[in-house]
């Protein structure tokens, strides 16, 4: 019975050592897996940041292009308004000239009209 107890004791020691070695091996493998996952996660995060930055840059370029088009349209609108004002001033000047000629002609007609045919002034 003493031999069986010694063999059982020895087997328990071997099993304990094997259990310890397995735990050590599993922890090493787990550390390796965690490191590789960390590296993978870091690369994914960096790619995400790069894509986000690229999207921001593209968005900024689009906004700048839109603003440039709006500026060109605004300048065109301003030019159209200025042309309209100039044409309006010219039209008013022509109307004033015509009105002056009409007043001049009507004044001549009134002066040439005999007094009996002139309208009465009130």
State the pLDDT at residue 121: 64
C-beta neighbour count of 14 within 10 angstroms:
10
Q: Give whole-number Cα distances, 21 to 11, 17, 29, in Å.
A: 15, 6, 12
- Alpha carbon separation from 118 to 108, 115, 121 (Å, rounded): 12, 5, 9
Q: Is the pLDDT of residue 118 over 70?
A: no
pTM of the complete model beyond 0.85 = no
Higher pLDDT, 120 or 60: 60
CB 110 within 8 A of CB 118: yes
120 secondary structure, DSSP code = P
DSSP 121: P
Task: For residue range 2-32, list pLDDT tens digits in order.
Answer: 888 888 888 889 899 998 999 999 999 998 9
- Residue 70's pLDDT is 94
Res. 117: pLDDT tops 70:
no
pLDDT band at 51 (very low <50, low <70, confident <90, very high): very high
pLDDT digits (tens, 9 = 90+) for 56-115: 999 999 999 999 999 999 999 999 999 999 999 999 999 988 888 877 777 666 666 676
11 vs 17: CA distance, rounded Å: 10
- Read off the tokens for 6: 């010694």
């Amino acid at each position: 019975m003493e031999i069986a107890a010694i063999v059982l004791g020895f087997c328990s020691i071997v099993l304990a050592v094997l259990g310890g070695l397995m735990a050590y091996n599993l922890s090493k493998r787990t550390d390796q897996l965690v490191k590789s996952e960390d590296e993978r996660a870091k690369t994914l995060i960096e790619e995400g940041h790069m894509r986000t930055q690229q999207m921001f840059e593209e968005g900024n370029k689009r906004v700048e292009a839109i603003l440039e088009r709006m500026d060109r349209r605004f300048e065109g609108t301003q030019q159209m308004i200025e042309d309209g004002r100039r044409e309006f001033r010219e039209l008013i000047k022509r109307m004033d000239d015509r009105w002056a000629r009409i007043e001049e002609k009507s004044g001549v007609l009134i002066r040439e009209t005999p007094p009996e045919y002139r309208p009465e002034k009130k």
